[in-house]
Amino acid sequence: MSEQSDVEGLREELRGWLAQNVPPDWREQQAGDNIDGFLASQREWLARLVEGGYATPHWPKEWPGGGRSLAEQVAIFEEIARADAPRMSLFFVALYHAAMTLMECGTEAQRARHLPAILKGEIWCQGFSEPNAGSDLASLRCKAERRGDHYVVNGQKIWSTLGQFADWCLLLVRTGSSGPKQTGITFLLMDMKSKGVEVRPIRQITGDEEFAELFLDDVHIPVENLVGQESEGWRVAQTTLSSERGLTLVELTERLARSLWRLVGIVTQDGAEADRIDDEARRRIVDIAARIEGLRAMIAAFMARRMAGQEGVGDASMLKLGYARILRDFTALGLRLRGMAAQRDTRYVLGAGYETSNWMFDFMNSYQWNIAGGANEIQRNIVAERVLMMPREKLA
């Protein structure tokens, strides 16, 4: 049997499973500030995916549902998006960043401790960015001093996604200050229940609290929680940051394509709303639809190159930039078409991104993609220098 027929068989199998298992009321469970509903809904969906064998297709084959080919992984992401299933926002860092970091760089003891726990719902967050070290991550200043069998950590982290719910944290700290900025960075696993850890959720313009600040005051982390070698944290972090490359945008772009009906729904409404829709608005909808299809084609070509081991320099940066711009224009158009009604809408759904049916919330939320996945300015520099081979200008 060919790989293509295997993938098509997987799609058919998964569609049947999704039809029986996607919670029809997940948006209602995660609506507004219902934190308990959000947590319960996410835990329930993870348990179903794990039981069905669809939560970890990117894990090795010894794990439930693991060992899938890249083509099969793409198919699973696409079908889950097309079924309008919940996103795994609460467990994304655990299933991708934490798991793949431990598999590639962790010890046997670390893997044995955490990988089974992740499948049972252990929540992870990242402690990378700092107030003055976001895009320039190598400038981080959070300090760790080794004292016997522990590191004592002091500093601050910011923009830790859903850090207020996390059990564990992937933490970058500085253990040395000599040499280039990338040296002297060490990668640790931090128990979020450790004494000295204070978590403060960050209230965004949307009213949501998707991110958190971490304040670390003499936090003791056992040396056994060191990942890799001391001062090799920069290398380990590259594994963490690249672990979900490509597959994330497969799912997000499919979800965006499936959300086009929301724009069409505004156009086809009866009454005053429909009267405001002019030919220019219709042209903009068609333009957005064409751009989404273009992005889907780019992603398909990118994944085909990855499967062939021929990923190009700057590919992921161009896809991320394309997605960020289309998402902002998509939500801005929905906001314009919805008119004053959008100004009065207060509904939103935790963890649903731009799929909340609240156009004002979705539009404001889209701006996080200027930074998420790597700041747009940094991605443009990568494309300019590594793809277009433009010279780096030095400031006088």
The catalytic residues are 244
Tokens representing 122 are 């252990």
Distances in whole angstroms, Cα of residue 175 to Cα of each of 143, 160, 168, 189, 207: 6, 21, 20, 15, 37
Dihedral, CA atoms, 108, 110, 112, 115, nearest 10 degrees? Answer: -120
Tokens representing 279 are 């030919």
Instruction: Say how many residues make up the chain.
Output: 396
* Cα–Cα distance for residue pair 291/272, rounded to 1 Å: 29
What secondary structure does DSSP assign to 374-389, as a single string? S-HHHHHHHIIIIIS-
* Cα–Cα distance for residue pair 152/30, rounded to 1 Å: 38
How does DSSP classify residue 331? Answer: H
* Cα–Cα distance for residue pair 366/256, rounded to 1 Å: 12
Beta bridge partners of 126: 170
Instruction: Evaluate whether 236 touches 105 at the Cβ level (below 8 Å).
Output: yes
* Strands (E) located in the chain: 124-127, 143-147, 150-161, 168-174, 185-191, 197-202, 211-222, 226-227
